[in-house]
């Protein structure tokens, strides 16, 4: 790919901002890595693979897509040029920092038991925040101009969450949640937050 160096740089910048990126073939999607593990923690009965396959099937050339899942986690993805089925996916992230009230309302709307509200709140704290004013969108726009030959040759498109997900995603919270999964997920979130704070302290110490 003629833009391999630029792609590596783009992914490195997003990684520095604690936002994950994935490059994969459409036929070999790393669902276990893309999922934050929160569905498993809540023991939600959902086919995550089917959920995202419905969304990724909408991919078109020269288009950067953005969509939100039912947890209000945002993702962006695009079909990379000079390939037939290689996709760059960015996320998850949140476009705004939700208040505690909004988090609890979301938990209630998903039918999550009140006993999980505290952990549900911790989950959102661990998701990177990417505001619409972020310089990362300008960087992504510049990347699009490079790989597609100008700003007139590609578009941003927001996918409708209701049309794409709700028909195939019906969260059902099972009563027999396994304690070991809860413990594992809590450790994962603590590590994520620790790494983030460590990066912040390092950046401050270096000016």
How far apart (Å, rounded) are the C-alpha atoms in residues 117 and 158?
29
Average pLDDT over residues 138-164: 87
- Which pLDDT belongs to residue 201? 45
Does the pTM of the predicted model rise above 0.85? no
pLDDT tens digits along 36-88: 666 666 665 555 556 566 666 678 899 999 988 878 889 999 999 998 889 99
How far apart (Å, rounded) are the C-alpha atoms in residues 137 and 141?
6
- Which pLDDT belongs to residue 16? 93
- Which pLDDT belongs to residue 155? 95
Check if the beta carbon of residue 26 is closer than 8 Å to that of residue 204.
no
How far apart (Å, rounded) are the C-alpha atoms in residues 120 and 103?
8
Q: Is 135 left (phi over 0), alpha (psi -120 to 50) or beta?
A: alpha
Average pLDDT over residues 122-131: 86
- Which pLDDT belongs to residue 183? 47
In the DSSP assignment, the letter for residue 128 is: P
How far apart (Å, rounded) are the C-alpha atoms in residues 112 and 38?
12
């Amino acid at each position: 790919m003629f833009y391999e160096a630029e792609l590596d740089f783009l992914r490195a910048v997003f990684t520095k901002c604690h936002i994950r990126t994935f490059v994969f073939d459409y036929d070999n999607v790393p669902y276990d890595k893309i999922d934050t593990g929160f569905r498993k923690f809540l023991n939600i009965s959902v086919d995550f693979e089917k959920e995202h396959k419905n969304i990724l099937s909408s991919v078109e050339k020269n288009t950067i897509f953005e969509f939100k899942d039912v947890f209000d986690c945002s993702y962006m993805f695009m079909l990379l040029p000079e390939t037939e089925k290689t996709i760059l996916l960015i996320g998850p992230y949140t476009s705004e920092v939700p208040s505690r009230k909004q988090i609890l309302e979301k938990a209630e709307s998903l039918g999550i038991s009140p006993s999980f509200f505290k952990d549900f709140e911790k989950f959102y704290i661990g998701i990177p925040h990417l505001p619409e004013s972020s310089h990362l969108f300008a960087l992504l726009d510049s990347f699009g101009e490079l790989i597609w030959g100008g700003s007139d040759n590609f578009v941003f498109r927001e996918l409708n969450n209701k049309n794409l997900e709700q028909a195939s995603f019906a969260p059902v919270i099972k009563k027999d949640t396994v304690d070991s999964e809860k413990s594992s997920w809590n450790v994962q979130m603590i590590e994520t937050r620790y790494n983030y704070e460590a990066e912040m302290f390092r950046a401050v110490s270096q000016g």
